[in-house]
Structure 1
Amino acid sequence: MKWIQYDNGYLNQTPIFQFILLSCLFPLWGAAASLNDVLITQFKSVFDLSDFASALVQSAFYGGYFLISIPASMVIKKTTYKAAILCGLIFYIVGCSLFFPASHMATYTMFLAAVFAIAIGLGFLETASNTYSTMLGPEKYSTLRLNISQTFYPIGAAAGILLGKYLIFEEGDSMAAQLAAKTAAEAHAYRLDMLMNTLEPYRVLIIVLLCVLALFAFTKYPACKPAAKTEQAKEHVPGIGETLRYLVGNLKFKKGILAEFLYVGMQVAVWSFTIRLALTMDASINERMAANFMVISYACFFAGKFIANFLLARFSTNKVLLAYSVIGALMVLYIAFVPSFTAVYMAVALSVLMGPCWATIYGETLKTVEKKYTETAGAILVMSIIGGAIVPAVQGYVSDLTGSMQFSFLVNFFCFAYVGYYFCKKNQEESHAGLTPAPKQ
């Protein structure tokens, strides 16, 4: 396909094969993220951790995203989106490989280091891919393209949970029950065996990543970089200091950052503790059985993506997301306070509402930024997923403090409430400005 790149970096049409291949990167970080939900449960029993300490898996993961996003944006600025993606794939492979020495050292901190290394690679991938997806075609379809790419994410997330379910978790009684029935020596040997199980999903990931790396390396991609029309314009390409000053002064951008921060934190917290919630609400099930609820959660998330794409194409973005947030907040209250196993089903159903939030907030917030600041703005938006490092830890702390995993889900109510408030205010601002929020094309 022959494409034409405009001066603002967008294309006259979307190169289909390149867009599909780019979208196939999204399930790769989905698999890594969902495996963390398995690791939290596995490490809690193997290392005898509190809920707060087990949530540090997510802190290491999303902390890596936070630290690498600006350096990744600088790589994109100096090279290309494709180069940053290749760097991300290489770091991802290295991070997966670190699980092998970690399993032999048998220390929690070494596993956290491996998770952090994976996140470095994913920071490159997501910083480049989210923005690249919005740029890879006509500008008016930018947010819709990102929503389509994000639709691939739950496929990888479900795959990660299935890998964890069958390659890490085992049949029989839960790990806690088995450990309670063993002597100290037997328990130690059992824990070492369980640690070795964590290697298996990462063997599979390394093979897949090597194939994707080769395929991506040999596929031609457009630059999608805004073109400077004159030498004088080239001399005024903004540096990182100027860009940050501009973004700090952009109120709409800052509001979007906070909404993204809380949304990601809520999503990660709910998924991190769904397996633990199921084990708490029904002591007769084991980890492999409880993992089924996460498989269904990602299926709901996947279905929710299509529902969201349908709604966003026909109705106001602000009103759709406001309705989602109100319904989500009410569902979280049910999870926190209804003393029955139906709370687990409600936590699973909550994933239907998570479909449009990340991509829509990302795409709409990026539109508030001048094109010459796009790469760094996209990186800072990716940095907002540090919420995934903080909110789960807060929920774990609340669980430890109150002794109730179920009640700890109340933390997510406040996140949903702010996201709803954000879209309510955004709708009011556009209405007062005489704008009618247009449906997506």
Structure 2
Amino acid sequence: MKKKLIQYSDGYLNRVPILQFILVTLLFPLWGAAASLNEILITQFKVVFELSDFATAFVQSAFYGGYFLIAIPAATVIKKTSYRVAIIIGLLLYIIGCYLFFPASNMATYGMFLVAIFGIAIGLSFLETSANTYATMLGPKESATRRINLSQLFNPIGNIVGIILGKYFVFTDGASLESQLAGMTPAEAEVFSQEMLQRTLVPYQFILIILLVVLLMFLFVKFPKTKPETSKNVKNKVNLGETLKYLSKNNPFKKGILAQFIYMALQTTVWSFTIRLALEINPNINERFASNFMIYSFVAFFVGRLIANVLMTKFKPTFVLTIYGIIGVAALTYTAFVPNMTAVYGAIFVSVLFGPCWPTIYGRTLETVDDKYRETAGAILVMAIIGGAVGPVVQGFFSDMFGSLQLSFIIPMLFFLYLAIYFLSENKNDSHVKEESKIA
């Protein structure tokens, strides 16, 4: 007989409600698909709008900038209502963002596409701010980090679906876009570019259908609130100012925020420019073929999460991620300096190492926060995703400056070096805590 679902005073549950946890986990591939389509758009827009690497990176700036700006408002909504309400709002805003691709594809301006991408990101900020924390709350506290790792396991499935949609519905067969445009008159090139921009609409039409189905599920299924019981104790009620003051003095939390920022900068730089790296090293391939390398990257990302989930049952997560960081630095150094197609496989391999980073940093950092500050702390952790807006711009700037996209992969290598040092420090801290508990 199934145990009755009980919510404890800290908001956690005595067991995992399976249906609700599955539905929350279904949200993770939804933002994965949107994020991976950015890699397609960056490649498409560079040629169609004749952009520099620095300018193409503003696709990611619009996307992750939306996350950054809306995370605190999303947390406020969660605080005043529930995780479920915030998720429903997020789905609605995601739907509106997808619809903005219709006028964007007709207006055919880079700015309007950035507006549509920003609109999607606003919805995704609501979804991630709520779903990441909600996944940790839907069950016992001691298994919170394992739950978010399990939910995050489905994120790369969305990444893969997004890239496949882009490969077959945005890119075409034949020579690369740059090669095709080079042989056209200005009038022919304008017509061709318009046709290419119309193709960007198709993946978002598929996503819209899925979003409507998921929205209906969240409207009709009952969800537990999983929020700490603060209404009976007025002293436990805190405002935003008090929360920010508390978090500003919480050093482990601040270290986690910076690590999450750097991780997002790392992940987004590598993924933003992998297709372009392949095209630069081998000009004889086209965008549709080069997009296969991103499919391989997301498969590697998925496999990496599976491997990490097994390893972290046998070893400390911080130890596993320290080793991952060291290997990642070596792989990205190879990618930056080896002048042949094996460098692309170095970038693909790095995705194996990305898998456990975000959920582990998120779960560990949230554990350093008192229960009554959790919603806002979770939102600020999501705000650290702004690293994804900054990293590609930095790499794009250095790519233009060096005149070599490949050499600019030094930038994500430095990001991974920082994470290796962070996880090494956290691993030492864990060891000290363990030794102190033995002595006590």
TM-score per shorter chain, which class? over 0.9
Partner Cα distance (1:152, 1:436) in 2: 37
Range with bigger deviation, 100-109 or 122-131: 100-109
Question: Is 1:294 aligned to 2:294, yes or no?
Answer: yes
Residue equivalent to 1:308: 308
Partner Cα distance (2:255, 2:413) in 1: 19
**Residues 88 and 437 of structure 1, relative CA distance in 2, 3 Å threshold:** farther
2:427 partner letter: N
* TM-score using structure 1 length: 0.97
Quote how far apart the aligned CAs of 1:235 are: 5.2
Quote how far apart the aligned CAs of 1:229 are: 6.7
Q: 1:176 aligns with which of 175, 178, 197?
A: 178
Quote how far apart the aligned CAs of 1:170 are: 0.3
Secondary structure of the corresponding residue to residue 172 of structure 1:
coil
Secondary structure of the corresponding residue to residue 198 of structure 2:
helix
1:349 partner letter: F
Asked whether the equivalents of residues 63 and 389 of structure 1 are also in contact (C-alpha less than 8 Å), the reply is yes
Asked whether the equivalents of residues 134 and 143 of structure 1 are also in contact (C-alpha less than 8 Å), the reply is yes
Residue equivalent to 2:144: 142
- RMSD of the alignment, in Å? 1.3
Asked whether the equivalents of residues 97 and 118 of structure 2 are also in contact (C-alpha less than 8 Å), the reply is yes
Asked whether the equivalents of residues 236 and 372 of structure 2 are also in contact (C-alpha less than 8 Å), the reply is no
Q: Map of 1:218-367 to 2, 5 A cutoff?
A: 218-228=220-230, 230=232, 233-234=233-234, 236-367=236-367
**Residues 285 and 367 of structure 1, relative CA distance in 2, 3 Å threshold:** same
Residue equivalent to 1:402: 402
Residue equivalent to 1:151: 153
Partner Cα distance (2:162, 2:36) in 1: 5
Partner Cα distance (2:235, 2:256) in 1: 30
Residue equivalent to 2:167: 165
Quote how far apart the aligned CAs of 1:432 are: 3.4
Residue equivalent to 1:83: 85
Quote how far apart the aligned CAs of 1:349 are: 1.1
Partner Cα distance (1:282, 1:326) in 2: 28
Asked whether the equivalents of residues 316 and 437 of structure 1 are also in contact (C-alpha less than 8 Å), the reply is no
Residue equivalent to 1:421: 421
1:170 partner letter: T
Aligned residues: 436
Q: What is the CA deviation profile of residues 19-64 of structure 1, one whole-angstrom value per residue up to 9, with x for unaligned ones?
A: 1111010000000000000000000011000001001000000000
Residue equivalent to 1:21: 23
Q: 1:51 aligns with which of 32, 50, 53?
A: 53
1:151 partner letter: L
1:325 partner letter: G
Quote how far apart the aligned CAs of 1:314 are: 1.1
1:63 partner letter: G
Asked whether the equivalents of residues 427 and 437 of structure 1 are also in contact (C-alpha less than 8 Å), the reply is no
Partner Cα distance (2:17, 2:369) in 1: 25
Asked whether the equivalents of residues 53 and 397 of structure 2 are also in contact (C-alpha less than 8 Å), the reply is yes
Asked whether the equivalents of residues 168 and 197 of structure 1 are also in contact (C-alpha less than 8 Å), the reply is yes
Partner Cα distance (1:121, 1:314) in 2: 37
Percent of counterpart pairs with the same letter?
58
Residue equivalent to 1:133: 135
Q: Which runs of 5+ in 1 are unaligned?
A: none
Asked whether the equivalents of residues 304 and 352 of structure 1 are also in contact (C-alpha less than 8 Å), the reply is yes
1:79 partner letter: T
* TM-score using structure 2 length: 0.97
Asked whether the equivalents of residues 230 and 236 of structure 2 are also in contact (C-alpha less than 8 Å), the reply is no
Q: 1:210 aligns with which of 205, 209, 212?
A: 212
Secondary structure of the corresponding residue to residue 339 of structure 2:
coil
Partner Cα distance (1:414, 1:286) in 2: 30
Residue equivalent to 1:119: 121
**Residues 322 and 58 of structure 1, relative CA distance in 2, 3 Å threshold:** same
Partner Cα distance (1:437, 1:292) in 2: 49
